[in-house]
Each structure stands twice: as C-alpha cells, then as structure tokens.
Chains A and B, each alone.
Chain A
Amino acid sequence: MKRINATPYLLTAPGVLFFSALLGAPMVMTLLLSLHSYDYTLGIQDDWTLANYLDVFTDSYFYVIFGRTLGLSLLVTVLCILIGAPEAYILSRMRNPWRSIFLLVVLGPLLVSVVVRTLGWAILFGGNGLLAKTTAALGLGEVSLMYTMTGMTVALVHVLVPFMVIPVWASLQKMDPQSEDAALTLGASPFTVIRRITLPQITPGILSGSIICFALTAAAFATPSIIGGRRMKVVATMIYDEYKNTLNWPMGATLAALLLFANIVIITSANRLVERRFAKVFE
C-alpha cells in the first residue's frame, strides 16, 4: 500500500486554517447573507431567496454603477499601461544612482496612507484648491475635479502606476538586452526594435500589471468615496452605503458577491488568455 506523506499537509495546515477562518468563513457568510431578504421595519429575514439578485439585475440604477466601475477600471488600467510601461522601460535604461532615485519616486505613493494621499488630492481638486485657483488665474474659470470621473481616475492612476511598473520592470530584467542590439544590426530602426522586439517581450508583464490595476480599481474604496463621493458612486462605495446607511446588509452582501464574481471572471479569463498566448514563448 502506498503511504501518504503527511508532512506537506501538516506544514501547510496552519496557513490553510488561518485563511479559511479569517478569509473563507466571512466570505461564505457574506454569500449566505445575500440569500436572505431584508425588511425595513423588521430587519434581516430568516428566509432563503434570490430576490436581492433579481433586484440588482432588474434595476437600471445598479447597471449604471456596475458600468461606471467597469469603465473606471478599464480607463485606469489603460492609463497605467500608457504611463507605467514606458516609465519602466526608461527606468531600466537609467544608470545608478538615478535609477534607484526614480524607482523610489515611482514607488513613493505606496508609502503614504491611502486616506492621507486621497485627502491630498481632495485639497488639490477642491473648490478652493490649487487646481481651481490656477485655472481661474489662467482665465479658464474655476475647474474642480471633485466628484468627477476625471478626479477619481487621476487619483487612482497615481497610486496604481507602481503596480504596472513593477511587473513590467521584472519582465524587462528577464529580457536579453542583446536581442535589441541583434534587431538593430539586422536593419531595424530604433522604433521598430521597440515595437517588434521589446514590446512583445514585456507584454506578459503589462498583462499581469493590468490584472492587478484592474482588480485594485474595481475594489478601490477610499479614493472613490473621498473624490467621487455620493455623486460618483462605484460598486465598492455602494456596498458601503448599503451596509452603513441603508442598513440593508443582504443587499450589500449581494453586491459584494457580484463584484467578487465579476472580478474573478474577468481576471481568470485574462490570465487564461495570457497563458495560452505565451506558453510557448516564456517559461
């Protein structure tokens, strides 16, 4: 009879227990909670129903907010690619000490607490903020980015760019810099080298960075709640409102479950696409 080696199971047991107790259990409870109905006078009912899900799928209000969240996530991701990928490339071409200094600048936003950073943006964007005063002085009227998509996008891109720079940086490190030289000597112009040789080699990095940026934007709470406020609700802030203001916990749980589900579907299919496309090319 084949003996089962217990060591790996025993060694992973503490971690598995930890995660199932602190992450798995609340998630299952949230899911169960979403299957109860809520009465504004009586509170959470003891029944089992899909009514909450039905509500979400039949009310255009939710479509607007889910659509906005998706749009915001895509926009932030695209901007992170456009800023982060060239940034990583330029950083990789720099020499020390400049490379270390600029890398620190890039990672800087991550060192500041999300609330403090977002309030900083709020001060810049607000009615009496620097932005409004500058545009007024330029004769463009007082522009405020508070409670706008643009404001949320700027603040989110600012903090999420490092999550694009780091994976792109990693794939640039794996790349053989001589392959660019090889393409040059084969007659390619510097622009062709970037388009045909460098870009395809850092695409896996861009894709994994995109997944991170997308997921973090879709789940972002502090920035949308401070910059976007009530006027520009996204799914995360809507969930918060359901729990804290309406006290409709089952609806909040339903929205949370749907957000998680949507995120998982989008990310796994993107991941599968990456794996299928690049399995032959990269280890």
Chain B
Amino acid sequence: MTFLRLEDLTKRFGEFTAVENVDLSIERGEFVSLLGPSGCGKTTTLQMIAGLQEPTAGRIVLGGTDITRLPPNKRGLGIVFQSYALFPHMDATGNVAFGLEMKGIGRSERQERARAALKLVKLDHLADRFPKEMSGGQRQRVALARALVIEPPVLLLDEPLSNLDAKLREEMRIELRLLQQEIGVTTILVTHDQEEALSMSDRVVVMEDGRIAQIAAPLELYERPRDLFVSDFVGKTNLLEARVLSAGERGSVVGIEGHQIDLPGTDLGKLDKVTLSLRPEKLVMSDAADGVEAKVLAAIFLGANWLYRVQTPIGELFVTQPNSGRPGFSNGDKTWLSWPDGAVNIFSAEGRFDETH
C-alpha cells in the first residue's frame, strides 16, 4: 500500500514553474531519492512535502490523510537540512531534545531519548558539545539524530552529505543506509550526486526542469535510462550521433562519421537518425583486431580504474578499464576498442528506442 503519495504536485513562482505535475507513490520503509541538476525542482518538492512551501496545485497524502495544507509544525516529519540548521545556542542534547520538548515530553524522558538518539548516530560522547565545537560530520549526525528522535513517519534529507569531504561522504552513505534499514523509516533524499542516489536508494526519481524524467531502481536506471537526459546525467557515457544506413529484422547498420557500426538484432525500422550511448566501462580495450581502431590520447590513473580518452573513427570516447595491477596503456598507444552487443543504448528523438518502438 502506498504510504506517501504526491498527486499532480505543482509549484509556480510567478511565471516560473519550479515543479510541474509530479506524481509519486512511496511505500512504507522505502528509500527514494530525488535526483537532478540544480534548479530541477527536487528541493522545492521536498519543501512542499515538509510544508515549508505551499503547493500551487496538487495533493500530498500521508498514510491516507491529506496533509497538503497542514502547517509544517503539525506534520511531524523529520528533516535534515543541507546546512544542518542546528541551533547554535544549544548543545547536542539540547538540539536533539528540542523536538521532544515541543511534543510536551517531560524533561527526564527527553534527556533519555535524546541520549539514545545520539547513541544511534554514535555521538553520545559529544552530547554536551555546542555545534561550533563539532566537525562537519559530527554536526551532520546531530542533525540526523534531531530528525530521527521525534520518530517521524517520513525522514526528509536535503543534500545531507554535500558539505562533507569525499571520504567521509562515502562512509556516511553506507552508514545512513544501514541506519535507515535498521529503523525502517520511510526516507526521501534530495541530491544532485548520482552516485549518492544510486548507492543508497531503493528507487531513484530523476527530475528535469520540474518534471519527473524517470523513476526506476538504481541498476535499471543505470542500465536502461529512458531518455538521453537520464543517460547523460546518471553515470558517465559516450553519446554518438548516428545515421541509419540500413535496417532489417536481423539487425541494423548505422554510420558514425563515415564509419559503419553493426547493431545486430535491432530493427531500427524507418528511423533516420539515432543517438547511441556507450558506457565507458562497457568498452573493452585490447590488442586483438576487433571493433574499432583506437589511439590513446590521455591516460589517467584513478587507483581502482584507468580512465582513457581515445581517438577512434567514430569520435573521441572515454573508456574506463579496471586496474589489473599491470601498467595500463600510455599516450599514443594504438589499440582496438569493442563492446558486447547488449551494451549499447539506442535513443531516438522520442526516447529510448526499445521502449518507444
């Protein structure tokens, strides 16, 4: 059963439409990410759920109750803000206990539950510290504890990890996901970081210009993006413009910069132009004469992977290869580039080819 439902949610600021007809159903205990570039309406959507922005149109239904016009202090949702928004004049315990105090819970129970919440985020040893005396990561945990302690039906996270450094961010991803699964709170995460969305969510909602572009599980989203925008925004990819030279039941042939590429098993029918999307890690570099010729323009060592930029007859491509422990290719090396049949995503003007045809 749907726990939280957004129905045709729309927000306009004067002439500008920030969010347009967003329809979304979220199950109890689900972790859903709103992913998109800045200005796509994801934060506005979150603020409407929180009650900090009033929708121009549409409804928000939580557990069967319409909460669209309910003020934020009556919704009881937990929010972690991007800036953490801690109360600088209260220590960690005071910050966490504030929500309980507003609920009218007595002092001793308040203290006890605040301690427990701080313990949950592994911060019980800093209960008396003021926000100013804590690191970014610690503040973030206090903000999380403060949102969780009121036992909200829905936890809203507004880019909670974007102010942390890279290593801490990765650790917090795992920790946050484990914590969410442990307490089973329905969670909505707003982020512009596709890795964050892919790694933490049950489902990802990709937004573009105030509209939902695609809703899918992380793997599906990555492997089968519905249009060029999603394909380009989620993960890295090489996009190649191609002309259809011939098409039949057994397969099609497309031309890219005068070079022919076979697409076995795909009947492109009457289409004239398509765009091919090739993920850098799906490409295989080898010395065996297979696929297209490639010349290495740049080789960048990333530790776990090599990132190459190569010159091929079909254009310049990015290629990622795992680091096997041996030296990789160097600038100027000649090699061959191939890919498995299913690795190519084909898009026409209407969107993903195998869904629109």
Interface residues of A (CB under 8 A from B): 176, 178-179, 181-190, 192, 196-197, 200-201, 278, 280-283
Contacts and interface: CB of A to CB of B under 8 A. Distances in A.
Contact of A200 (B89, B99, B102): B89
Nearest to A200: B89
Interface stretch (B7-15, B23-31, B77-85, B288-296): B77-85
Interface residues of B, number: 30
Contact of B73 (A178, A187, A200): A187
Given A185-B72, A186-B99, A188-B102, A281 B85 contact: no
B51 to A, nearest CB: 7
A185 B89 contact: no
B334 interface: no
A15 B276 CA distance: 71
Contacts of A201: 87-89
A187 B81 contact: no
Contacts of A200: 87, 89
- List the 3 closest pairs (A to B, CB-CB), nearest first: A187-B102, A186-B99, A178-B85
Given A181-B81, A280-B130, A282-B132, A187 B99 contact: yes
Nearest to A175: B88
B86 A179 contact: yes
B273 interface: no
A281 B88 contact: yes
B262 interface: no
A185 B103 contact: no
Interface in B302-342: none
B42 interface: no
Contact of B88 (A181, A186, A282): A282
A95 to B, nearest CB: 12
- Say what secondary structure dominates the interface of chain A: helix
Contacts of A181: 50, 52, 72, 79, 81, 85
Contacts of A188: 73, 98, 102
A184, A187, A197, A201 — which one has the most chain B CB atoms within 10 A of its CB?
A187
B132 A179 contact: no
Nearest to B149: A186
B75 interface: yes
Nearest to B77: A185
B150 to A, nearest CB: 6
B244 to A, nearest CB: 52
A281 B143 CA distance: 17
- Say what secondary structure dominates the interface of chain B: loop
A176 B83 contact: yes
27 contacts: A176-B88, A178-B82, A179-B85, A179-B86, A181-B50, A181-B52, A182-B79, A182-B87, A183-B98, A184-B52, A184-B72, A184-B73, A185-B50, A185-B51, A185-B73, A185-B78, A186-B73, A186-B150, A187-B74, A187-B99, A187-B102, A189-B73, A192-B102, A197-B87, A280-B132, A282-B88, A282-B132
B235 interface: no
Nearest to A177: B85
B146 interface: yes
B98 to A, nearest CB: 6
Contacts of B143: 182
Contacts, number: 77
Interface in B41-65: 50-52
Contacts of B137: none
A9 to B, nearest CB: 34
A178 B81 contact: yes
B175 interface: no
Contacts of B133: 280
B132 A185 contact: no
Contacts of B82: 178
A176 B132 CA distance: 13
B150 A283 contact: no
B50, B89, B146 — which one has the most chain A CB atoms within 10 A of its CB?
B89
Contacts of B255: none
A135 to B, nearest CB: 45
B76 interface: yes
Contacts of A176: 83, 85, 88
A195 to B, nearest CB: 12
Nearest to B76: A187
Contacts of A184: 51-52, 71-73
B70 to A, nearest CB: 12
Nearest to B86: A179
B73, B75, B79, B143 — which one has the most chain A CB atoms within 10 A of its CB?
B73
Interface in B70-122: 71-79, 81-83, 85-89, 98-99, 102-103
Contacts of A183: 87, 98
A182, A188, A201 — which one has the most chain B CB atoms within 10 A of its CB?
A182
B342 to A, nearest CB: 46
Contact of A186 (B71, B98, B130, B132): B98
B103 A187 contact: yes
A188 B146 CA distance: 14
